[in-house]
Structure 1
Amino acid sequence: WLCYYCGDCAETCPREAEPGETMMALRRWLTAQYDKSGHSARLYTSEKAVWWTIARLMLVTLAAFVVYHVVTGGDNIITGRVALNSFAPVMLVWVLVLLHGGYLFYRMGAGVWQMANQVLAPTREQVDIPRWVYLEELKTFVTHFVTQKRWRACDSAPSRSRWLKHLLLVSGYVTMLVLVLGLLWWFQTDNLYPLYHPQRWLGYYATIVLIYGSIEVLAGRAHRQEQLHRFSHHTDWLFPIFILTGAVTGILVHIFRYAGWPWPTYAIYVLHLMAMIAMLDTEVGIGKWAHLFYRPLALYLEGVKQRARELGAAPGLAPAGTD
């Protein structure tokens, strides 16, 4: 987890042992170990399980919309104009989003707890780490989560470019996450705002960087020219495809809404939610998405262990990610 895989190790390995690919395989194994439900292991070891899970989640989402409008007699489907918040009441959607987010947060938190216990076990056997050490090192987690700056430690120009592209992609994802989890009541609206309104340009920024970043990743994996894209597991394709699908369907909802097309707006909105729920349930805490947390968490835990060394109580400890 401490490696951002610039590819230098694989390019200079005298035995051509592909150490970077070995590291990626170990990350997948560790992610599966942190998930005690076994769901992560099933998705990593079976493409059939991945597609079945995606299909099931998308159909459940579609069925929820059908049941809602059957129960309400179809009265909330307004076709004379676009009324998205009648078709999908924003407060109801927001409550469901928060409940779903709470479940996913718990699942991610369980993985974090498992990782922290495994990494810190040797330290705790030798010393009781003071609570203030955990608190002081939180700045390490926040810094690396926000800036991804460890990637800049790679010397090559392509790696520095890759850092910027990845940072933009993460910024777009986090922007959309905040808009949906925290501000959906403001972001999903029937109002038509002028171009300079923040609701629009925040959405445009996130859409642009998500589409560019995901296409760039997919193109890199297809062409296999960069070292970090030479080998691809099926789950490596899944996350950028989901991001691209979410960004494209999201901006289409916006375009159709401003164009005043009711049915296309409603249909794409349902498709957007189907894709996003499938993505979150197959990624958060158990898939490729998890590296967003595990990378900075590893640096945080390594910082905690380093502070323990400085206290003179735990010499010679193993690096984060090892037993």
Structure 2
Amino acid sequence: MAYRVEPGLYRDVAKFGGGDITACMNCGNCTAVCSQSQDAGGFPRRMIHLLQVGHSGKLAGSLEPWLCYYCGECSDTCPREANPAETMMAARRYLTGVYDWTGLGKKFYTSPAWEVGAIALVGLFIVCLFALFHGPVLTDHVELNTFAPVEWVEIGDWILGGILATLLLSNGWRMFHWVMGSRKAVDVPFSLYLRKLPAFFEHFATQKKWRECEGPNTRWLKHFLLVTGYVTMMVLVIVFLRWFQTDEIVPFYHPARLFGYYATAALLYVTVDFLVGRLKKRDAIHKYSEPTDWVFLVLLFLVALTGILVHVFRLAGLPLATYSTYVVHMAIVVPMLVVEVPFGKWGHMFYRPFAAYLAAVKQGAAEADAQRTKRAA
């Protein structure tokens, strides 16, 4: 495969954040201290080299940015203060824009006005929908499913889920094309893709490679809580909405309530912890923040907060407070999903385990090639 050299590539990636790669002298210290480099190769050193020489094609086809878990040790030990960890983060944002065929990912990552404007526009659209099509407003008692019929909300959930899945999977196909395009289709049999598929689900559920990084394991645990809290809430809302959004006061031990409380507690705890960490800037992972990082965390916090407030107001028998907070909640949830899942920060929840899966496929193909060569010899 031929690659086009773009001398200004590092400036393009710098628009997504990152360190000063012009300060890097390729000493290799970052690779030496990285616990992940033994599996993925010489990163982050190799990524910085690709940026310096302008290999945009190789960068687009690289899995290494997704296999970095941003422990920050490479930046802490860099003798030139080139901040390679933040460069890897910028490369992930850049690649999100490369995979996205709509071009919106790049817009949202490089322009806070575009991201905030899109969120506000979608949120306003949701408010207008409720203003025009809500059901009867009963004020003598709470009937949320009369104000917002669960059947209609459920249909909206499935339509939105289908759109998001289409966007994310189509972007994933583009990622696959970039990564595996250098190998002929015959080199990787379909059976190998099937055999390695469990790697995707394993890394999606556990992010186990993060535990190999230096630093306290609480980072892995907090990320695990964040992901499981978010996924739990998504499953409750999309799959079990009829049991989750109900006017019946179910017992505390009801599964819908218990899982909802877990998701809310996990999201509130982790988002507050991450926001405070970014304010105090004590850890390497929080020292540098782009506007997209703040927007994502604030949205996720507000989703959890407004969701639990709807529940509290409903239990307290406050009709108007319940209905109005529900509209605000939906006006935050939908924009967060529309903007952050296929185009923004939350896309890495798919891209990172997908990268681990493709890395396993490539390794399996390389091992098969080596065996064929050995037999031929």
TM-score (norm. length: structure 1): 0.92
RMSD of the alignment, in Å? 1.4
| Correspondence for 2:258 among 192, 201, 206 | 201
* Paired residue type of 1:99: I
Separation in 2, partners of 1:56, 1:285: 17
Question: What is the aligned partner in structure 2 of residue 33 from structure 1?
Answer: 98
TM alignment of 1:178-193, pairs within 5 A: 178-193=235-250
Matched letter for residue 264 of structure 1: A
Give the match's secondary structure for 1:312. Answer: helix
Residue matched to 1:240: 297
Separation in structure 2 between the aligned mates of residue 221 and residue 275 of structure 1, nearest angstrom: 22
Paired residue type of 2:284: Q
Shift of 1:314: 11
Give the secondary structure class of the aligned counterpart of 1:44: helix
User: In the alignment, residue 17 of structure 1 is paired with which amino acid?
Assistant: A
> Which residue in the other structure is 1:152 paired with?
211
Partner of 1:279 in structure 2?
Answer: 336
Q: 2:143·2:319 contact (CA, 8 Å) conserved in 1?
A: yes
TM-score for the superposition, normalised by structure 2: 0.79
- Cα separation, 1, equivalents of 2:249 and 2:341: 33
| One of 187, 192, 195 as aligned partner of 1:136 | 195
Q: Which runs of 5+ in 2 are unaligned?
A: 1-65, 373-377
Runs of 4+ aligned structure 1 residues displaced above 4 Å come to none
* Residue aligned with 1:284, SS: helix
Q: Structure 2 CA distance, aligned partners of 1:313 and 1:153?
A: 28
What is the deviation of 1:128?
A: 3.2
Amino acid aligned to 1:7: G
1:303 aligns with 2:303: no
Q: How does 1:92-171 map to 2 (within 5 A)?
A: 92-124=152-184, 127-156=186-215, 158=216, 160-171=217-228
Provide the C-alpha distance between the structure 1 equivalents of 2:214 and 2:163, rounded to a whole number of angstroms: 40
SS at match of 1:285: helix
SS of the residue 2:350 aligns to: helix
Counterparts of 1:30-69 in structure 2 under 5 Å? 30-69=95-134
Does structure 1 conserve the Cα–Cα contact (< 8 Å) formed by 2:187 and 2:365? no
Q: CA deviation at 1:9?
A: 0.9
In 1: Cα distance, 2:235 partner to 2:371 partner:
40
Question: 2:149 matched to 1:89?
Answer: yes
Partner of 2:282 in structure 1?
225
> Hey, what's the Cα distance between the residues in 2 that align with 1:124 and 1:3?
27
Q: Secondary structure at the match of 1:97?
A: helix
Output the CA distance in 1 between the equivalents of 2:368 and 2:212: 27
Q: Identify the residue that residue 13 of structure 2 maps to in structure 1.
A: none
Distance 1:56 1:188 in 2: 26
Aligned AA (1:64): L
Cα deviation, 1:183-241, whole Å, max 9, x if unaligned, reads: 11111000001211112111111110100011111111111111011111110111111
- Specify which structure has the bigger relative contact order, considering alpha-carbon pairs within 8 angstroms and separated by 6 or more residues: 1
Residue of 254, 270, 291 corresponding to 1:213: 270
Query: In the TM superposition, what is the alpha-carbon distance from 1:155 to its structure 2 partner?
Result: 3.0
1:268 aligns to 2:325 (yes or no): yes
The 8 Å contact of residues 123 and 305 in structure 1, kept in 2 or not, is answered as no
Aligned residues: 307
Three-state SS of the structure 2 residue aligned to 1:193 is: coil
Distance 2:287 2:214 in 1: 20
Q: Aligned partner of 2:99: which letter?
A: Y
Aligned twin of 1:320: none
Q: Could you tell me whether the CA contact under 8 Å between 1:168 and 1:213 is conserved in 2? A: yes
- Counting aligned pairs with the same residue, the percent is 48
CA contact (8 A) 1:123 1:314 kept: no
CA apart distance, 1:285: 1.5
Q: Is the 8 A contact 1:108 1:285 kept in 2?
A: yes
**CA–CA distance in 2 between the matches of 1:133 and 1:313?**
15
Aligned partners of 1:145 and 1:293 also within 8 Å: yes
Q: What residue in structure 2 maps to residue 176 of structure 1?
A: 233
Aligned partners of 1:308 and 1:314 also within 8 Å: no
